[in-house]
Structure 1
Amino acid sequence: MSDHSALLGPAAAELLRVATAVPSLDARTACAGYDVRGLLNHLLYWGPWLTAAGRREPYAASVAEEADAALVQDGWPTLLAKQTDELVAAFAPPEAWTGTVTLGSAELPAAVVGDMVLGEFVLHGWDLAWASGSTLSCSDAAAAAVLASATAMGVQARSMGVYGEVVQVPETASLLDRALGASGRDPSSDAVQR
């Protein structure tokens, strides 16, 4: 795993752009089991956990389970923007990508957690763009990093229900489409949406 800190800022900005453009919090997303409200709640719930890991600080959520949190209230765009800024800042220093960090009760390589943050921005950014029928702008470097991470962690992520089954995407497809397929998303969005 490498330091992908330079990729986080643009990916976070794109996530915020598509999140605030979604026309309805009740719209379906491409992320199984989540409407827009649920996916935003997911991002708002796990953001502080990931930030604390990057800062190597302890964190205890006020609500034990994501399903019990109701974080999408008035002002959620401001909260999401603040949280993504904090996440980017937490993983900006090179040392944030070295050694191990604690995420909840798990001890993980810091670079894996940093790549999880990038994956959250890119994959869930695509999910939210899909919800409004728009497209996600993603650099090839970010897509390649997400593809590598999704491939490396795929078996474990699928066993935990984080990813769906691999969607076969042609080798000639874009890096983003291949990353989406590796994470269980169908990049031919019309097959899922509408």
Structure 2
Amino acid sequence: MSEHAALIAPAAAEFAGILRGIGESDLSARTPCAEYDVRALLNHLLYWGPWLEAAGRKTAPPEVSTGEAEADLVGGEWLADIEKQTARLVDVFGAPDAWQGQTTFGGNPMPASMAGYMVLDEFVFHGWDLARATGAEFAVLPEVADAVYAIALEIGDQARAMKVYGEEVAVADDATPFERALGASGRDPGWTP
């Protein structure tokens, strides 16, 4: 699991590139996540990022007064905010020790590697969601594609039970590892707005 630490920075770099291409007019665009438009997906990322950072540092989660749905975190400085958050997550989860042992997320104990999986998934799957919604190209390194596919297979049943992944989507026999990962996470690789 700690070998995934080396994949965090390249995955984050592609994710950050997609973020920088999002304009004001894109915020209301539909995403492959049916319950989120671009603004709501950015809000989701900004809301849960500090929780993931705390899980990686094995510290207490942030104190919050609202749930994700009530939070309004996509203000005028949203890009700077999410870039700083992304850099902190890379700093934390780019270190192999963040993936070792146990941690908590949302008050629930879990293997620290699971928090790392969540960060890699956020960068890659939600990066792809945002790219699709805004018409941007999304490039995934082969080793990152292989990793998120393996993760999706490993945690798929649990993630679907928790409503983190959608129902598995069948992909073509000649699908790439990343397309297989998308399908395993409940995404249609051919989705368009």
User: TM-score higher than 0.5 here?
Assistant: yes
**Residue in structure 1 matching 2:89, options 84, 87, 90:** 87
Match of residue 10 from structure 2: 10
- Residues 39-48 or 20-29, more deviating: 20-29
1:115–1:145 contact (8 Å) kept in structure 2 = no
- Identity %, equivalent residues: 51
Alignment of 1:31-46 (within 5 A): 31-46=33-48
Of the structure 1 ranges 87-96 and 76-85, higher mean CA displacement relative to structure 2 is found in 87-96
Letter in 2 for 1:22: I
- 2:30 touches 2:36 (CA, 8 Å); kept in 1? yes
Give the aligned CA root-mean-square deviation in angstroms. 1.3
- Alignment TM-score, normalising by the size of structure 2: 0.94
Distance 2:94 2:159 in 1: 25
Q: Go from structure 1 to structure 2 and tell me whether the alpha carbon gap of 1:157 and 1:139 turns closer, same or farther (over 3 Å shift).
A: same
- Where 1:102 maps in the other structure, the secondary structure is strand
Q: Structure 1: which 4+ aligned runs deviate by more than 6 Å?
A: none
Q: Which residue does the alignment assign to 2:190? A: 188
CA distance, structure 2, for counterparts of residue 108 and residue 168 of structure 1:
29
Shifted more, 54-63 versus 42-51: the winner is 54-63
In the alignment, structure 1 segments of 5+ residues that lack a partner are none
Secondary structure at the residue paired with 1:67? Answer: coil
How far apart are the structure 2 equivalents of 1:26 and 1:72? 12
Query: Shift in Å at residue 142 of structure 1?
Result: 0.8
> Following the alignment from structure 1 to structure 2, what is the Cα–Cα distance between the partners of residues 177 and 119?
14
Q: Please, which moves more after superposition, 70-79 or 146-155?
A: 146-155
1:27 & 1:61 partners in 2: Cα distance?
30
Aligned-pair CA distance for 1:2: 4.3
Aligned residue pairs: how many?
Answer: 191
- 1:16-165 paired onto structure 2 within 5 Å: 16-23=16-23, 24-165=26-167
Which sections of structure 2, spanning at least 5 residues, go unmatched? Answer: none
By how many angstroms is 1:140 displaced? 1.1
